[in-house]
């Protein structure tokens, strides 16, 4: 049998065919989200939550800063940023007064091609683009109530109207990405990132989809309120990076509404207990670090997706390979060597044309089998499970929320 999965987010968005034995029982676990009509997208931006309209709120402002998440996130900013620019124009703000900040945090440095994909070629050619550096051009805003240092991009803070745009996706620290995280992590200094992502990890009470009592969320919310975001836009995506839902307005109201929607849109029921689960890393399949988020759907309380002794397969093109991450990269201050214990009795296989055995050894637990062709990976899986195997394919594993029935 052949099962098609989405492949190469932002860099092709093409199907990839996984061939599997016809004798296997295979469930395809897919999201059921549908694209929001364009007129509804316009209405959501024009009629924000708990906030005056953008054209009223921005009237009289001289320097507009728009923070957007980077290419590592699937947010289709190009589909609605022109609407925001139009609203600012009605407010009397010319494009020359608008800057777009690529909130990459500790991710690899963005390039112009990334920006053109993210915000659209037309706007990339016309607007001022600011590339954040976590080591420089930072303003010290003191500390949070828990003693976490707050350092944020100086140029962003110097603006007199601040907009944050981000996508809502499941996250093992934040519960959901998006919200204040776009600015408080994406435009943060490295010292603060180390504090919130590494030193305080034992305090988080975190997990995928977990928000209540999540101390990581508490940290970034307090930092975000100190920074002061004037207008926020958060997006819930379809399985092909379209807009399934969108909210604009007050940052807290927007994040709350978007996360509630994400729980519905990303929910994927399953019986669990599989012999084998294929976790496709789309739409966060850019590099090794982002692709590892595919594992989130089978842990953090979801270990029963695959039976103990079973096999988990991560599939990703990883076209950027094992690109540098300024905290989590090998020998970086936040690097933590993976252990076998994290798999909790499950085998791990990685199929990726973009990763070699050295990359796998650095970022995945000892004993992980890795292959650069699907035929070789499939042969290994047949050796492990024979001709009788109950398996599932999770086509957007970095975004779906599996729910065991």
Residue 183: CATH number of its domain: 3.40.50.11440
Look at residue 301 in the predicted model and tell me its pLDDT. Answer: 66
In this prediction, residue 300 carries a pLDDT of 65
* 135-180: pLDDT as tens digits: 999 999 999 999 999 999 999 999 999 999 999 999 988 999 999 9
**Domain coverage including residue 214:** 38-264
Residues 250 and 368 in one domain: no
Among 199, 232, 264, give the residue marking a domain's end.
264
In the numeric block, which tokens belong to residue 95? 């494009």
Is 310 found in the same domain as 176? no
**In this structure, are 229 and 156 located in the same domain?**
yes
111: Cβ contacts below 8 Å, ≥ 6 apart? none
Residues 247 and 303 grouped into a single domain: no
Which domain-ending residue is among 203, 232, 264? Answer: 264
Give me the number of domains the chain comprises: 2
110 and 149 housed in the same domain: yes
Total-model pTM: 0.96
Among 264, 295, 317, the domain-final residue is 264
Segment 353-362 mean pLDDT: 96
Does the pLDDT value for residue 125 go beyond 80?
A: yes
The continuous run of DSSP H or E covering 183 comes out as: helix 181-184
Q: 308 and 202, same structural domain?
A: no
Are 172 and 197 within one domain? yes
State whether 182 and 282 are in the same domain: no
C-beta neighbour count of 383 within 10 angstroms: 8
DSSP secondary structure, 85-119, as one string: HHHHHHTT--GGGEEEEEE-TTSPPP-HHHHHHHH
Contact 187, 130 (CB under 8 A): no
Q: Please give the pLDDT value at position 299.
A: 72
In a shared domain, residues 315 and 275? yes
Q: Do 191 and 86 sit in the same domain of this protein?
A: yes
Question: If you search the block for the tokens 């963005």, which residue do you land on?
Answer: 110
- According to DSSP, the residues that pair with 128 across neighbouring strands are 99
Q: 296-307: per-residue pLDDT in tens?
A: 887 766 778 999
Nearest to 324 by CA among 279, 295, 286: 286
- Supply 151's token pair: 């350092």
Cα dihedral 179, 181, 183, 189, rounded to 10, equals 170
State the CATH number of the domain containing residue 298: 3.90.226.30
Q: Are residues 254 and 275 in the same domain?
A: no
Residues 177 and 301 grouped into a single domain? no
Which residues, 6 or more positions from 133, have their beta carbon under 8 angstroms from its beta carbon?
none
H helical segments located in 105-178: 112-119, 121-126, 154-157
């Amino acid at each position: 049998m052949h099962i098609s999965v989405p492949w190469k987010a932002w860099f092709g968005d093409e199907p990839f065919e996984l061939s599997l034995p016809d004798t296997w029982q295979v469930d395809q676990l897919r999201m059921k989200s549908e694209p929001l009509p364009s007129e509804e997208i316009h209405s959501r931006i024009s009629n924000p939550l708990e906030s005056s309209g953008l054209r009223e709120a921005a009237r009289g402002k001289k320097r507009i800063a728009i923070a957007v998440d980077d290419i590592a996130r699937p947010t289709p900013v190009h589909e609605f940023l022109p609407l925001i620019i139009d609203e600012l124009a009605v407010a009397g703000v010319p494009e020359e007064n608008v800057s777009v900040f690529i909130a990459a945090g500790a991710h690899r440095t963005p390039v112009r091609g990334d920006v053109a994909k993210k915000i659209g070629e037309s706007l990339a050619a016309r607007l001022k683009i600011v590339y954040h550096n976590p080591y420089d051009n930072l303003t010290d805003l003191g500390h949070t109530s828990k003693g976490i240092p707050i350092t944020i991009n100086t140029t962003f803070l110097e603006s007199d109207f601040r907009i944050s745009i981000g996508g809502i996706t499941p996250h093992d620290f934040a519960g959901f990405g998006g919200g204040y995280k776009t600015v408080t992590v994406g435009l943060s200094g490295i010292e603060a990132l180390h504090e919130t992502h590494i030193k305080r990890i034992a305090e988080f009470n975190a997990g995928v989809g977990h928000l209540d009592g999540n101390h990581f969320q508490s940290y970034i919310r307090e930092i975000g309120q100190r920074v002061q975001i004037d207008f926020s836009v958060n997006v819930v995506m379809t399985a092909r990076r379209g807009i399934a839902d969108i909210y604009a307005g007050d940052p807290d109201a927007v994040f709350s509404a978007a996360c509630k929607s994400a729980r519905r849109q990303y929910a994927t029921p399953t019986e669990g207990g599989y012999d084998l689960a294929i976790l496709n890393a789309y739409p966060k399949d850019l590099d090794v670090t982002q692709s590892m988020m595919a594992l989130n759907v089978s842990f953090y309380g979801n270990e029963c997706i695959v039976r103990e002794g079973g096999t988990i397969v991560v599939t990703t093109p990883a076209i950027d390979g094992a690109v540098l991450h300024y905290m989590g990269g090998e020998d970086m201050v936040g690097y933590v060597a993976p252990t076998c214990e994290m798999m909790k009795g499950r085998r791990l296989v990685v199929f990726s044309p973009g990763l070699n055995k050295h990359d796998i050894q650095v970022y995945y637990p000892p004993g992980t089998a890795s292959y650069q062709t699907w035929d070789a990976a499939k042969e290994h899986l047949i050796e492990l499970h024979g001709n009788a195997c109950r398996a599932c394919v999770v086509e957007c594993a970095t975004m779906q929320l599996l729910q065991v029935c």
